[in-house]
Amino acid sequence: MNFTEELQRRRTFGIISHPDAGKTTLTEKLLLFGGAIQIAGAVKSNKIKRSATSDFMEIERQRGISVATSVMAFEYRGLKINILDTPGHQDFAEDTYRTLTAVDSVIVVIDVAKGVETQTEKLVEVCRMRQTPVIVFINKLDREGKDPFDLLDEVEQKLHLKVRPLSWPIGMGQHFKGVYSMYEQKLVLFRPHGKQEQDEDVVEITNLADRALEQHIGERDARILREEVEMIESVYAPFSRTAYLEGQLSPVFFGSAVNNFGVRELLDCFVDIAPSPLPRAAEERIVAPEEAKFSGFVFKIHANMDPNHRDRIAFLRVCSGKFERNVSYLHVRQNRKLKFANPTSFMADKKTVVDEAFPGDVVGLYDSGNFKIGDALTEGEMLHFKGIPSFSPEQFRYVNNADPLKAKQLAKGLEQLMDEGVAQMFTREVDGRKIVGTVGALQFDVLQYRLEHEYGASVQYEPVNLYKACWVTCPNEQVLREFMQRRRRDLAHDKEGNLVFLAESAWQLKTVQENFPEVEFYFTSEY
């Protein structure tokens, strides 16, 4: 298969949602349909002992939530599908924002009972800023929920997405009988038998006018389905793939991931309409995937995917050209060549060595500390890919070593976990004390758990009264010196040695900004 054919058969997408909307369960079912796994795991279940493939960290299995992005790849209908299952919880949003820089499209999962929730709004806002194509999957139709038309209105109003249903549910909750696929113009009925391990029985009717419809779903449901589909056709604009690819129109599917309702219809449509790898913006120029020369960027780092081997893996999105094993590439930030003997592809924490990878693929590179999030690899060109920020933390704690005999383990653990981007560490100018800052409070629990279980180090947190951490620059060196002298007790340095102002309150930050108008304050590290 030549380079162009390999490029055209790639589909790389992220799955995003509010916590508990069923995102990870949907990922499991997609993997099941793709033949990547034989038995679908459960995020939360008393009966099924197998945990979800994408929730591979011990803390994820215990809490029943995703705390880190998982990468999974499988083949389906001759295409190579790369799924990035992201954390839904707002405390891990930073990981999700960065992951969205590495995908070409997204599927948004919405709970039929809860509708559009806060975190979904924030994530879709990021997608809209980047004009990322969005498909909406309304989940948990096996439970009672909101009226489907009301949900479509909610999606349009709250997410500001123009929608077009491509499948439609028959009933809901106990009366849920299946979905009608308007995309394929067929009715698919399911016989739920309570087992999650097997595909459901499928009955197909290709024409809604067929009188056999009544035999399967009854006269009342057949009448309602015909009326609602007629209403959809008259109210919503016809589906246009061009509008979808431009981020102007979002197809909507209904189903129940845990019971396989509507998942195959979603997947079949997705592989037809979703974009192959798209161009990526660098500071120097736009990088097209068709270019012959290889380039890629690191959007995530994960320490201890296998705690027994202390491995640290950088997740690299291939942007152009072909990545090859044992070939030297330029690490742009360090301006030196690196060669990778064991690049890997992923199935969550299971890794397979790959000899080559193409645009859209995510490759795992074993890393001894060379990479940071946002780093670029090329065949020689100096490229700096844009849009991979670190956000200003909103929660802060002093970090104290609870076991003096494990000081080295703690230092190594903190260094590696900070490289992952799960949190940021600041060292105070005035006394050298370490402060960890995170976007959400739950990150502190994850940090403490991983330090103990992966590095054998124990930490104690101490509250610190801070409002914001802002990165600081000033072109006037004399003003900067005066600022540093007068505000020394509020200053710190981040892990890279950049100057950071630690504001105790919004009022203090505003006052300092007014007193030092030449000093620039930034709320993301990508300034």
Q: Which of 150-164, 349-363, 386-400 has the lowest mean pLDDT?
A: 386-400
- Separation CA 116–CA 166 (nearest Å): 19
Q: Is residue 384 one of the residues assigned to a domain?
A: no
352 to 57, 343, 364: CA distances (angstroms): 18, 8, 9
Q: Which of 323, 346, 378 is the last residue in one of the domains?
A: 378
Q: Are residues 242 and 286 in the same domain?
A: no
Q: Are residues 7 and 142 in the same domain?
A: yes
pLDDT, tens only, 95-143:
667 778 889 999 999 999 998 887 788 778 878 877 899 999 999 888 8
pTM: 0.74
pLDDT band, very low/low/confident/very high, at 177 (cuts 50, 70, 90): confident
Strand order in the sheet with 424-428: 459-463, 395-401, 434-438, 424-428, 491-493, 499-503, 468-473, 520-522
Q: Is residue 152 one of the residues assigned to a domain?
A: yes
Q: Which of 320, 346, 378 is the last residue in one of the domains?
A: 378
In sequence order, the β-bridge partners of residue 295 are 320, 378
CB atoms within 10 A of CB 234: 7
First to last CA, the chain: 42
Helices and strands, number each (H, E), in the chain:
13, 31
Q: Are residues 106 and 232 in the same domain?
A: yes
Residue numbers of the domain that contains 338:
280-378
Three-state helix/strand/coil letters over 252-320: EEECEHHHCECHHHHHHHHHHHCCCCCCEEECCCEECCCCCCCEEEEEEEEECCCCCCCCEEEEEEEEE
The count of structural domains within the chain is 3
Q: Is residue 386 one of the residues assigned to a domain?
A: no
pLDDT, tens only, 281-331:
898 999 999 999 999 999 887 765 555 545 678 889 999 999 999 999 999
Q: 328: domain CATH number?
A: 3.40.50.300
Q: Are residues 132 and 11 in the same domain?
A: yes
